[in-house]
Amino acid sequence: MQVYGLLGNPVGHSLSPPMHEAAYDELGIDARYVTFEPADAGRAIEGARALGIAGLNVTIPFKRDVLAHVEPDALAARIGAVNTIDFAGEPTGHNTDAAGAIRALERADVGLGGARATVVGAGGAGRAVAFALADAGAAVSVANRTDSRARELAAEVPGASGHGLEALPELLADAEVVVNATSVGMEEDRSPIPPEALHADLVVMDAVYRPLETRLLREAADRGARTVDGAWMLLYQGVEAFERWTGADAPVDPMNEALRTRLEGDSSE
């Protein structure tokens, strides 16, 4: 039996186990997905390798810490964070958050080549999304509460510009895509974007998935914008990890059903 898992702290409410185990069950793969809350990421990786664990996902607070203990691929090195470790040979680090964001937008039939895209937030998720959008051919603007952090990130992303949140109305007036990569709206009825800045020509994606329908997405829909909820990005980063580890095409529909069933159950508690 193959063992995969998740490093983080806390991980008690992670949605990765039901999502990945739905994929194993669907394809008849003899594997299990477990969670770990180590005190030290480096020692955890050494232990996982010694135990023959086949792959690990990584979440807060270890995404940057593990860079010192794996060989990151070019994208993970640019983003400065790893969320997937492959133990086939020497441990290698990857960032599937970037691909997850792109695949979520592509599923919504969003063309990114030449599009004007704004990323709200310059933290870990914002970095992944900004690099991913730029690599897909979009012209990227980053808006952040601390504008200096937005400018620092923009200096690393080809062709990007950095701004404070007060610039959002101007940035979104000409944008086709906006992604909230902050935690604003997570289990609270707030939005990082003023509703008057939203319009019908926008595609609005929220990386927040608890709740599935955030205030940002409600206000965007009210103004005629297309919306993409955060569970799609979460799903596709998991799909990318699964496919990297197993070499098999991920059963996306069963994984999505397991993910949304769990989210709906959480919301009813």
Query: Cα separations (Å) of 154 from 84, 125, 161, 176, 222?
Result: 24, 14, 5, 19, 31
Tokens representing residue 149 in the block: 């952090």
* The 177-180 sheet, strands edge to edge: 161-164, 139-144, 116-120, 177-180, 203-206, 226-228
Which residues form the catalytic set? 63
d(CA 66, CA 36): 14
Separation of alpha carbons 260 and 254, rounded Å = 10
User: For residue 65, what are the contacts with CB-CB under 8 A and spacing of at least 6?
Assistant: 41, 42
Q: How far apart are the first and last CA of the chain?
A: 33
- Residues 84, 93: contact at Cβ < 8 Å? yes
Tokens of 139: 């012209």
CB 249 within 8 A of CB 30: no
Which stretches within the chain are classed as H helix?
16-27, 41-51, 74-79, 96-107, 124-135, 147-156, 168-173, 215-222, 230-246, 252-267
